[in-house]
Amino acid sequence: MQITAGELSKLLNGTIEGDANVKIHTVAKIEEGITGALSFLANPKYEPYIYETGSSAVLVNNDFKPSQPVKTTLIRVENAYSSFTFLLEKFGNPSHQLKGIEPGSIISEKAKIGNDVYIGGLSYISDNSEIGDNSIIYPQVFIGIGSKIGKNCILYPGVKIYHDCVIGDNCIIHGGTIIGSDGFGFAPQADRSYKKIPQTGNVIIENDVEIGANCTVDRATMGSTIIKQGAKLDNLVQIAHNAELGRHSVMASQSGIAGSGKVGNYVVIGGQVGVGGHIEVADGTQIGGQSGINASIKDPDKKWFGTPAIEYRDSMRALAIHRKLPELLKRIETLEKTLKEK
């Protein structure tokens, strides 16, 4: 891609300060800028770099006021971060324009394939499955019987979609992730062994969801495990059977929701957080990393931390006291010694 700063500005409904004819052919961090690169400034702590960057143009917010002369061309937009993201989506990955069916892929005659779909070699598309228009199925993807993939989806190499699962439009699933594996359901027997409970449900992933690499989303015992619209999962996340993750909620790496856990909308879950089974988490909740949620959170829009998790401010006070425990113990021992001497 090669485009002038002026053309970029028109594309983004921005305004130019500097050379509108300077040519852009790549992107770069503002601190690593080179000639021909476009960078962006959204975080004020990176402002010093804008005065020395080698980038030919920089996206800035409309309200940005430089404190010294700027040598690079500025493109002022309403939101520099969002505009930069838009450009990366539009121009950043030419492989997303792939179309056609590669040799070596196996596609059932009973499968329904939409328009302008790409299916990579060694992929397997089962009976009665569906793939929507403009979706990209990379090599070595498996799509099970009766599963449905929506429009404009991207399934990266090695993704496995078991039978009867439903993936909405505009979803991205990264390599190694498995959707629809059996839930962890076993009935204890009198002899202390376990008997497998058939997992007869499915997984429903709504529109605009992104799931990282090596995640697992288990099918429901009955009914559906559901990931709702706009949710985002980091790598190495586990969603158990019959769990629900609400709209536009996010989960960081190595976190998990146990069976029948219900997480609300706009929830932020940090890394290595465990949400217990049959627990509900209210809308807008924020949970700090390595926390354990062993009871339902009913009040919305609060922060929690610790194991078991308590409200964030209380947890910080508790940690402050915890740090002083060695000193307090020493004082107690000194007092005890003094009392014994008396």
pLDDT tens digits for range 193-215: 999 999 999 999 999 999 999 99
- Which residues of the chain are in CATH 2.160.10.10 domains? 99-312
Cis peptide before 139 (omega within 30 of 0): no
The reported pLDDT for the residue numbered 200 is 97
Dihedral over Cα of 309, 312, 318, 324: its sign: positive
Other Cβ atoms less than 10 A from the Cβ of 52: the count is 12
Q: What is the pLDDT of residue 97?
A: 72
Whole-number pLDDT of residue 98? 86
In the CATH scheme, what architecture does the domain 99-312 have?
3 Solenoid (2.160)
Residues 200/222, Cβ–Cβ less than 8 Å: yes
Q: What is the pLDDT of residue 337?
A: 86
The ranges of the chain annotated as CATH 3.40.1390.10 are 3-92
- Strand 3-4 vs strand 23-24: parallel, antiparallel, or unpaired? antiparallel
Catalytic status, residue 278: no
The pLDDT of residue 339 is 87
Given 174, 241, 278, 322, the catalytic residue: 241
pLDDT of residue 319: 85
- The pLDDT, as a whole number, for residue 90 is 79
Distance CA 40, CA 92 (A): 15
Cβ-in-10-Å burial (0-12, 13-18, 19+) of 226 comes to: buried
CATH of 3-92, picked from 3.40.710.10, 3.30.420.40, 3.40.50.300, 3.40.1390.10, is: 3.40.1390.10
Which residues, given as ranges, of the chain have pLDDT below 50?
none
